[in-house]
Amino acid sequence: MFDFKGKIALVTGASRGIGRAVAVTLARGGASVAMNYAGNEAAAAEALELVRNAGAPRAKLFRFDVSDPAACNAAVEAVIGEWGGLHVLVNNAGISKDQTIALFKDYDWNRHLQVNLTGTFNLIRAVSRPMMKQKGGVIVNLTSVVGEMGNRGQAAYAASKAGIIGLTKSVARDLASRGIRVNAVAPGYVDTDMTQALPEAARAKLQEMIPLARIGSAQDVADAVAFLASEQASYVTGEVLRVNGGMYM
């Protein structure tokens, strides 16, 4: 377990899947956790209870759309105003809709970029000044194996996640002199609501593509995020940590 006592973290997309696992893992380490969600009230309430039971000194839900820059700024200001600082930002919120390129709608393309890529940018920008003022902080962005290798029917998702890699490396260079580390985690196929909806034959075919012969867990990814957010990774910035069972090397 990593030590996050005295730290304040904001995790986006924290109501389910990887985001929930990250929030709980940070809470186990002693962090206070601000939890963003988009609209599923029941899932958010359940996640909040799990984070509190995991030991978070403080935990609170923040409902806002990460693609809205004003909402991102307001949420960051609220966390800092209520709790006195912000030490860790985990950009996990994202969407995915599969469709062949010939049939892809303008709205869906733009929405992928707005949520996955611009949403990540919005929050990085919102926390940059407060973190510079406190002379330190950690940002961890969730990208994807699909952003590195591409995937049929996922042009918009792949493009948005590839963009996060470039954004991560550029911002890491921008903020390094201010004591702020910026890294990314690139999960492979993880056992979440999205992959559970796949037919069994499709899940079996996925596993054949993975050298470790299993679909990952949300906890596998959360542990990687926690490492990058911790002091044990104090000399790591601009890195993309792959958590994909060897699917892409």
User: Which pLDDT score is estimated for 192?
Assistant: 81
| Helix, coil or strand: residue 141 | strand
Q: Which of 107, 157, 189, 248 is catalytic?
A: 157
Q: CA angle 222-4-26, nearest 5°? A: 30
**Which residues on neighbouring strands pair with residue 36, listed in sequence order?**
62
The rounded distance, in Å, linking the Cα atoms of 51 and 149 is 34
User: Which pLDDT score is estimated for 205?
Assistant: 86
107 Cβ neighbours under 8 A, 6+ residues apart: none
Answer whether 147's CB lies under 8 Å from 169's CB.
no
pTM of the model: 0.97
User: Which pLDDT score is estimated for 206?
Assistant: 84
User: Which pLDDT score is estimated for 204?
Assistant: 86
Q: How many CB atoms lie within 10 A of CB 167?
A: 20
Task: Provide the CATH topology of domain 8-190+219-237.
Answer: Rossmann fold (3.40.50)
The structural domains of the chain, with segments of one domain joined by +, span 8-190+219-237
CA proximity to 89, closest of 62, 113, 112: 62
Instruction: Give me the residues of the chain with pLDDT under 50, please.
Output: none
User: Which pLDDT score is estimated for 194?
Assistant: 66
CA distances (Å), origin 49, targets 92, 160, 178: 19, 31, 35
DSSP 33-93: EEEEESS-HHHHHHHHHHHHHTT-S-EEEEE--TT-HHHHHHHHHHHHHHHS---EEEE--
CA distances (Å), origin 37, targets 108, 144, 249: 20, 20, 32
Is 235 designated active site?
no
